[in-house]
Amino acid sequence: MRSPARLATGTAAAALTAAVLGLAATATVAPSAYADDAGRLEFAPATAPPGAQVTVNTGACGADGSGFGDAAELEAGEFELEPLSGAGATGRFTVPAEAEPGTYAVGVFCDNGDEASGEFQVTAASSAAAAGASSGGSSAGSSAWPKAPAEREPGAGKKPEPGTGTGTGTEPEPGLGVRPEPATPSEAWPDRPSGHVSAGVGGSVGPGTTRIAAGAGVLCAAAVAGACLVRRRAHGAQDG
């Protein structure tokens, strides 16, 4: 039977918990506190047809210039970032052959916590010749990107790369490194772990020690009781 005092305390605690939970539930994700920090992404070419390789540049990521890009909306997966001389980072992805024309968000997440995003436009495959030729301000010539790889790709007038992402492999550039799609995650993420963790040897695997302990306890009790009985019987025999 609970005392009224305990009941009151319990109810008060429950009410307080409910209030706190209610407050927590209404707190939404902070509206991008990073909106001011979020950089822009610049694409070269700014638009491209399926199969084209697109270079992404950003001023985010600081001097380290490392992180990952996410072109998942295009189904192009993730791509690695490398430092750009000066500040910023650059990366590369290939527009998949089956991508539909349209505008897709591409994001970049830096190791230093910065982020940047941009919108990339996929054009229809047949308009390859028109795309990329410095359309709009975002691909305003290589002067915007110090040592940018834009020199290598004068728009999509170049033959589009095979959509399977085997990479160019033809024009090695020191520092930027043309490389094929990584075969294993550790290649794409040179600084991330890969594979399982070896964190146990089985020292905790053993017999049911609780049961053994309980059994031993019960045996001891039985032994003691048995001894008492024998004594009792002996006494009884003497008296009786």
Partner 1 sequence: MNETTRTALRARAWLVGITALCGLWLVQNGAATRTDPPRPAAAEAFAAGPPPRVAATAPLPRSEPVRIRIPRIGVDAPMTRLGLRADGSLEVPPARDRNLAGWFAKGTPPGAKGTAIVAGHVDNAQGPSVFYALGSLKKGDRVEIGRGDGRTAVFAVDAVEVYANDDFPDRRVYGPSPDASLRLITCGGAFSRTTGYQGNVVAYAHLTGVR
Nearest alpha-carbon partner for 59 in 136, 112, 128: 112
State yes or no: residue 239 binds partner 1 (CB under 8 A): yes
User: CB-wise, 11 or 17, nearer to partner 1?
Assistant: 17
Binding mask 51-80 for partner 1 (x = CB under 8 A): ----------------xx-x-------x--
* Residues 6+ positions from 60 with CB-CB distance below 8 Å: 37, 38, 39, 67, 88, 89, 108, 110, 114, 115, 116
DSSP H or E segment with residue 40: strand 39-44
Euclidean distance between CA atoms 47 and 102, whole angstroms? 10
Q: Which of 5, 27, 35, 183 binds partner 1 (CB under 8 A)?
A: 27
Total residues interacting with partner 1, rule: CB under 8 A: 64
Q: Report CA-CA distances (Å) from 61 to 36, 43, 178, 200.
A: 14, 16, 21, 37
User: CB-wise, 129 or 212, nearer to partner 1?
Assistant: 212
Q: Which of 7, 16, 19, 218 binds partner 1 (CB under 8 A)?
A: 218
State yes or no: residue 207 binds partner 1 (CB under 8 A): yes
Cα angle for residues 97, 102, 107 (degrees, 5° grid): 85
Residues 79-108 that bind partner 1 (CB under 8 A): 107
State yes or no: residue 183 binds partner 1 (CB under 8 A): no
Which residues bind to partner 1, rule: CB under 8 A?
A: 24-25, 27-30, 33-34, 67-68, 70, 78, 107, 109, 111-113, 115, 184-186, 189, 191-223, 225-226, 229, 232-233, 236-237, 239-240
